Amino acid sequence: MSGKKYKDSLKKFDRNMLHEPNDALTLVKQMSSAKFDEAVDISVCLGVDPRKADQMVRGTVALPSGTGGDVKVAVFAQGDAAAEASEAGADVVGAQDLAERIEGGFTDFDIAIATPDMMPIVGKLGRVLGPRGLMPNPKSGTVTMDIAKAVSEFKGGKVEYRTDKFGNVQLAIGKVSFEGADLLANFEAVMDEITRAKPASSKGRYLKKITVSSTMGPGVKLDPSSFS
Q: Per-10-residue mean pLDDT for the chain, 228 residues long?
A: 60 81 93 90 95 89 90 96 96 97 94 96 94 89 95 92 93 94 96 94 92 92 85
Is 5 a member of any domain? no
Is 216 a member of any domain? yes
Report pLDDT for 228. Answer: 64
Residues 62 and 77 in one domain: no
Tally the domains of the chain. 2
Residues 79 and 151 in one domain: yes
Strand pairing category for 92-94 and 73-76: parallel
CATH number of the structural domain spanning residue 35: 3.30.190.20
Residues 54 and 94 in one domain: no
Decide which of 155, 172, 191 is a domain's last residue.
Answer: 155
Residues 222 and 174 in one domain: yes
Residues 91 and 129 in one domain: yes
Number of continuous H segments (helices) and E segments (strands) in the chain:
8, 9
Residues 164 and 201 in one domain: yes
Query: C-alpha distances in angstroms, 22 versus 86, 209, 216?
Result: 39, 17, 20
Is 7 a member of any domain? no
Report pLDDT for 5. Answer: 63
**Percent of the chain that is helix, strand, coil (3-state, to 5):** 35, 20, 40
Report pLDDT for 1. Answer: 45
Decide which of 105, 129, 155 is a domain's last residue.
Answer: 155
Decide which of 155, 176, 205 is a domain's last residue.
Answer: 155
Residues 85 and 143 in one domain: yes
Report the distance separating Cα 73 and Cα 94, nearest Å: 12
Report pLDDT for 50. Answer: 87
Report pLDDT for 4. Answer: 64
